[in-house]
Amino acid sequence: MSKQDGSGRQVTTDASDDGHASILHVDMDAFFASVELLERPDLRGLPVIVGHRGGRSVVTAATYEARKYGVNSAMPMSIALRRCPNAIVLEPHFERYSHYSEMVMRICDDLTPRVERLGIDEAFLDVAGARRLLGTPHEVATLLRSRVYDETGLRCSVGVAATKFVAKLASSLAKPDGLLLIPLAGTIDFLHPLPISSLWGVGAKTEETLTRLGLRTVGDVAHTPLATLVKTLGPAAGHKLHDLSWARDPRAVSPVGDDKSVGHETTFEHDVTDAAVVRRELLRMSDQVAVRLRRAGMEGRTVVLKLRFADFTTITRSRTISEYTDLGRRIYDEVVDIYEGLGKQYERIRLVGVRMEQLAPSGGSPVGLWDTDEGWRETESVMDAVTARFGAGLVQRATFVKKRPASTDAD
């Protein structure tokens, strides 16, 4: 969480477009404190500290109004209250923070499959592949900020740049509630005047060491011979800071783990004996699996049905189809056929699941001359676009108008 108080805020005011600046860093503004203010809107604009009042407690979070008094997260509460004696202290509620974090991350997932989560309140997004569907990186960042506020009531700041390092730096300078885009061509001009503490890995001790060399800005570090940095800081740190000072950061946005399968499961509130209810849930989960496949740029060939019964006996049945697919309707046709082929002996169902295995990148297999799935492909593409722009639930199949009788978990 940023310790800045917003006094040095920088934002982009024009709709800039830079095809090379496609990495976004989204950072929630004073996240824990902002979540608490959703329950206490009467405290907006006041110095609020989140934490326990005990003698040994520390500050969990602080609003920007409190930060202007020098209050920061992880500071002893006693010191914070001495610096800001009129602060209002609220107890933390970590379950709320997890809830809103998941809401924000789902919005990120709607925009691109390339999302790298960093803790509970920030993430990197690579939106290079979203241009055709959602527009320029600046437009995607604007959409992201708008959706986060509309759907959660929370504010976030977004940095847009060609590298992760510069994007994260930009988001910190845009706080609170800002968007800062750094074009590739302007990266060095942006970076070099900044203080050396802006470089990743420069803490108090390293800053002191560099200051003794007369280095005070990132540009000073950039123009210092590499051999001097290596001799002073060691090979690893010397090379790293030299590269960062010239905006060299080859790291890609890396979603955690590469799925070998994609699946969803539903546990019913009560054991289900109605086959129509089971089929409806199979259709819902088939659509969810298909959406995740398309976001990840993957297709699958093996459809898997999972059933758990009232006595907790669990079975799985699979079928490998002739062509790879990422269409919910095609997955549903196969999985419901497997279900109906089991017969009536499998009743009183507690859980159902749909999974796609044997995954491959999309486009690996050619579409036939007569594409029998063309109509469904167009329909699901439209649903993807609407969901990305306006959130899940705005467009759905008529089958799902009724209240759903279960809770769904992705795996």
**Annotated catalytic sites, by residue?**
122
34 CB contacts (<8 Å, ≥6 apart)? 28, 63, 154, 155
Contact yes or no for 80/59 (Cβ under 8 A): yes
DSSP assignment of 202-219, as one string?
A: --HHHHHHHHHTT--BHH
Task: Spell out the alpha helix ranges (H) of 153-274.
Answer: 164-173, 187-191, 204-212, 218-222, 226-233, 235-245
Biggest CA–CA distance in the chain, Å, is 81
CA–CA distances in Å: residue 336 to residues 2, 217, 277, 298, 318: 49, 63, 12, 22, 11
Report the alpha-carbon distance of residue 6 to residue 345 in Å, rounded.
Answer: 64
Report the alpha-carbon distance of residue 81 to residue 53 in Å, rounded.
Answer: 10
From first CA to last CA, the distance across the chain in angstroms is 28
Q: Which long-range contacts (CB under 8 A, 24 or more apart) does 131-137 make?
A: 131/19, 133/384, 133/385, 133/388, 134/388, 134/389, 136/15, 136/16, 136/17, 137/17, 137/18, 137/21, 137/22, 137/24, 137/181
Place of tokens 């809770």: 407
Length of the chain: 411
Contact yes or no for 125/145 (Cβ under 8 A): no
Report the alpha-carbon distance of residue 353 to residue 85 in Å, rounded.
Answer: 55
HSE, CB side, 13 Å, CA atoms: give it for residue 30. Answer: 29
Q: Which residue type is seen at 350?
A: R
